[in-house]
Structure 1
Amino acid sequence: MDSLRYELPEVTIRSISVGEMDNNVYLLTSRKSGAQVLIDAADDLPAIQQLLADGASDAAADAQLALIATTHQHWDHVRALAGLVAATGAKTAAGTDDADELPAAVDVRLEHQDVGTFDGFELTAVHLRGHTPGSIAYVYQDPAGPAHIFSGDSLFPGGVGNTDKDPERFASLLKDVRERLFDVYPDATLVHPGHGKSTTLGAERPHLDEWQERGW
C-alpha cells in the first residue's frame, strides 16, 4: 500500500498504520535536502524502516533521519522507539513532562511553542495537557497551503483524547485544544491523529460546545 499522503512544495508526508491498535506513524521528508522527521515510532520496526526508505525516494539528496518525535508516553506509541534509535542513531524529542517515561533517552525535551528547524522545514511543538501531562502536537506550516497538525491522541475526528473520565484532565485538554489549536489555526488546517483518519479544524470546530457539554 502506498504510504504517500501529501506531496507539498517543500516536503512530502507519508504515513502507515502499525500494531494491533492501528497506530499512525508519520514521516516528513524535505524534498530538497532529504532531512526526515518521523512522528511516533509506534511499532513494527521493519515497516518503519520501509517507510523511511520510501520517503528517501521523495528527496533530491540522500535522506537522513534528523529526529524521531514522540507525541506522548503511552506504550502503543513508543514500542519501536528504542529499536529505531539503535538502528539509525537519530536524535529523539518528546514533551518535557512525558520524557522520563519513554523507553529511550530523550535528547530534546519540548515545551510549548518550541520550534525545530530542519534542513528544508520547521515543526512547532504545541503542548496539549490532559491525555498525558506532556502530550505534544507537532505543526508543519506549509508555505503554500494549510498547516498540518500531528495531534497524537489529543484531538481526533469527533472529540479530544481520552482523559479517563477525569473532569480536571478533560477541562485541561479541551481548554488547550481550543486555545492552542482552534484559536490559532484556520478551518483549512489538517489534523492527523495518532489513530484513524485525518480531519480538519473546520470540520470539528462546530462541535466544540457539544464536546464541552458531554464531558469527553
Structure 2
Amino acid sequence: MLRLFLPALLACLPLTAPVRAETVTLTPPAAKTPGAVSQFMAAQDLFALGRAQNDPLAVLAAARLSARIKATEADRTPEPKAEALPHSHPDATTMFTAAKALAAEDTGVTDLIARSEAEATLLPTRTLLSSTRGIEGAGSQTYTLPFFAGSLAEIGLLGDGKANLDLTVVVGEETLCLNRDPADRALCSFVLPENASVTVTITNRSETAASYSLLTN
C-alpha cells in the first residue's frame, strides 16, 4: 500500500507548487516539463507542508524530489555587493532525517524511508546554480544574468522566512516577471527569442534584514 501511495503523492505536487511571480512569456515554452528550479522549490514547499501536518510520507516525497537536484554554488555578485552566506533551506539529507523522525514507531514507513534514502544515490539528477546573499531591510540588489534563446529559463527566489522579498526580471525594456506577493519566494519561467542578458532585482519590502538564495537553471 505504501508503494502505491507514494507515486500518488508525487502526482499531487502541482497542488503544492511555490508562489509564482506573475510571468509574461515572450515565446512559447520549449518544453512543458518544469525545470530543475521548479522541482527544487516544489520540494521545499512540500517539505514545509509535510512538517506542518506531521506527515512523514509528504516529507519523504519532498526528500526524493530534492535528492534528484544537484545545487552548485555560483559566485554571482549583485549590485550593490553583498556578503555570500550559507543557504538556509534544508537539503535532501535533512529531509530524510525529518521523515524518519515523523515516522517514529511505524516500522513500515521507516523501512520505506530507509529504502528510499539508499536508492537516492541511484536516481538521475538535474542541476541548478545557487547564490545565497544577505540583504538589508528596505534594500534591493540587482544581478545581470545571461540566458540562451529557445530554452526554458527559470529564476527562483527562496528566502529565509524573515522578510517579504520581491522578484523582478527584465530584458531590455520588457518586464518578464513581476512578483509582489507578501512572501519571500517566487518563481519566474520564460523563453527568450534570442540570446540575451536579463536584469534580476531582489527587493526587501520589510525593515528586517534577511538572506535569500537566487536559483537558476
Q: Which has the higher contact order (CA 8 A, sep 6+)?
A: 2
Using the size of structure 1 for normalisation, the TM-score is: 0.32
Structure having the higher helix fraction is 2
Using the size of structure 2 for normalisation, the TM-score is: 0.32
